[in-house]
Amino acid sequence: MANQQKTILWWGRFDPNYSRNRLLRRLLAELGFRLTDFKPKISFLGGIEAKFADLSGIDAVWVPAFRQRDFQAAHRFAVRHRLPLIFDPLISAWDKAVFERRKFSRCSFAAQRLQRREREMFSRADLVLADTAAHAEFYVKELAARTECTRVVQVGADETLFRCQKPQILETLPEVLFYGSFINLQGPEVIVEAALTMPEVRWTLLGDGPLRQTCLDRSGGMAHIRFEDWIPYEDLPRRIGQASVLLGIFGSSPKAGRVIANKVFQALACGRPLVTRDSEAFPTALRTDPLCGIFFVPAGDPAALAAAVRELFDKPELLPVRGQQARTSYELWFSEGGIRKALVDSLRLIGL
């Protein structure tokens, strides 16, 4: 791919260390692209600020994850300079506000206005990236993304960090680990309800967020349910390696059924058995493979989660095998190689 002279302008006040951005930016650099960052002080006025910045020699504009508020200014810049615009929202703000946080009812004026705004964005982008096929279908159906301009590039795991860990030796109380931002999509309260029924296992919930205090209160100070604060991103692989089983997400919202969370990819890459909610976001062949190293349970079901964890620890001698199966599933379905190919194929649609 002759792209050594191609420059992509990343537009918006994004976090370069967020896992989605971190991986894609590294892959783009490895593919030979040059990345230029433009972070306007005020999103809406970004076009004005861009006039005073050195933004020459740009071949495409990229609006990264969660930066919907930067889209309009970035789009005007791209149109003015006749550049293709890549939109990688990762989530829909309308979906989050209406169906996850239930901030507005679907029929409310505020919800309809938010949906119209997003439909304008998705329909105007030259390339829309989705993290799963289920999300891509949602973008097309609900947010007017053009089918021919929408492609799937999975979230994946940064393989420079998340490598296969040594099997855990169960010399003490076995540990089940969840880490996250304690939001509804992740269903941390489902984890606590399951943990209350299994004192023979140590349940650790790492991170912080809106539902952490609710989970703390519900745990009732039980000694086998522990809460840990955030650790540096670079330390996550080591922390994953200290646990025997990892947990994904368990929320029951429609959005939770369309995504594969970062922690899922990272746990599999580290070679740890995983329990997570079943959803059509996963490949059908993976969901139906009993040797995939992933235990799928119904969304929002603490009893099913506890049963899956109990099944894993009833045969602790099989945990290393389950871990290797998890790593094999990662390599087969979610590896960087596959993500790199999907990224290259997507960029070819806009001549990059």
| pLDDT of 3 over the 70 cut | no
| pLDDT of 168 over the 80 cut | no
**Average pLDDT, stretch 153-173?**
87
Residues 313 and 287 placed together within one structural domain of the fold: yes
Residues 59 and 203 placed together within one structural domain of the fold: no
- For 10, 215, 267, 342, the CA distances from 7, given in Å and listed in that order, are 10, 46, 33, 19
Identify the pLDDT of residue 172. Answer: 73
**Average pLDDT, stretch 166-181?**
85
Q: Is residue 1 part of a domain?
A: no
Q: Is residue 58 part of a domain?
A: yes
Identify the pLDDT of residue 54. Answer: 87
Residues 221 and 193 placed together within one structural domain of the fold: yes
pLDDT in tens, 252-297: 999 999 999 999 999 999 999 999 999 999 999 999 999 999 999 9
- For 187, 244, 307, 314, 336, the CA distances from 174, given in Å and listed in that order, are 22, 6, 15, 11, 31
Identify the pLDDT of residue 8. Answer: 98
Q: Is residue 165 part of a domain?
A: no
Q: How many domains are there within the chain?
A: 2
Identify the pLDDT of residue 157. Answer: 96
Name the token pair of 62: 């990229």
pLDDT in tens, 231-247: 999 999 999 999 999 99
Identify the pLDDT of residue 101. Answer: 82
CA separation for the pair 28, 347 (Å, rounded): 10
Identify the pLDDT of residue 104. Answer: 86
CA torsion sign for 253, 259, 263, 267 is positive
Residues 114 and 258 placed together within one structural domain of the fold: no
Q: Is residue 168 part of a domain?
A: no
Residues 329 and 193 placed together within one structural domain of the fold: yes
- For 101, 181, 215, 313, the CA distances from 184, given in Å and listed in that order, are 8, 9, 12, 27
CB count within 10 Å of CB 37 equals: 15
**Average pLDDT, stretch 46-74?**
94
Q: Which domain holds residue 237?
A: 175-334
Q: Is residue 148 part of a domain?
A: yes
> Strand locations in the chain, DSSP E?
7-11, 34-38, 60-63, 85-87, 127-130, 150-152, 175-180, 202-207, 225-228, 245-247, 274-277, 294-297
CA separation for the pair 330, 133 (Å, rounded): 17
DSSP state letters, 220-284: TT-TTEEEE----GGGHHHHHHT-SEEE-----STGGGT---HHHHHHHHTT--EEEE--TTS-H
The conformational region for residue 182 under phi > 0 = left, psi -120 to 50 = alpha, else beta, is: left
Residues 320 and 187 placed together within one structural domain of the fold: yes
Q: Is residue 324 part of a domain?
A: yes
- Percent of the chain at pLDDT > 90 equals 89
pLDDT in tens, 109-144: 999 999 999 999 999 999 999 999 999 999 999 999
Residue with tokens 């922390």: 239
Residues 139 and 202 placed together within one structural domain of the fold: no
Residues 195 and 66 placed together within one structural domain of the fold: no
Residues 100 and 29 placed together within one structural domain of the fold: yes
Residues 293 and 343 placed together within one structural domain of the fold: no
Identify the pLDDT of residue 1. Answer: 45
Distance of CA 39 to the CA centre of its chain: 22
Residue with tokens 């504009």: 61
Identify the pLDDT of residue 171. Answer: 64
CA torsion sign for 270, 273, 279, 284 is positive
Residues 325 and 342 placed together within one structural domain of the fold: no
Residues 196 and 89 placed together within one structural domain of the fold: no
How would residue 4 be classed by pLDDT, with cut points 50, 70 and 90? low
Q: Is residue 197 part of a domain?
A: yes
Q: Is residue 192 part of a domain?
A: yes
Query: Among 112, 19, 127, 143, which residue's Cα sits nearest to residue 78?
Result: 127
Strand order in the sheet with 7-11: 34-38, 7-11, 60-63, 85-87, 127-130, 150-152
Q: What's 231's domain CATH number?
A: 3.40.50.2000
Name the token pair of 66: 């969660």
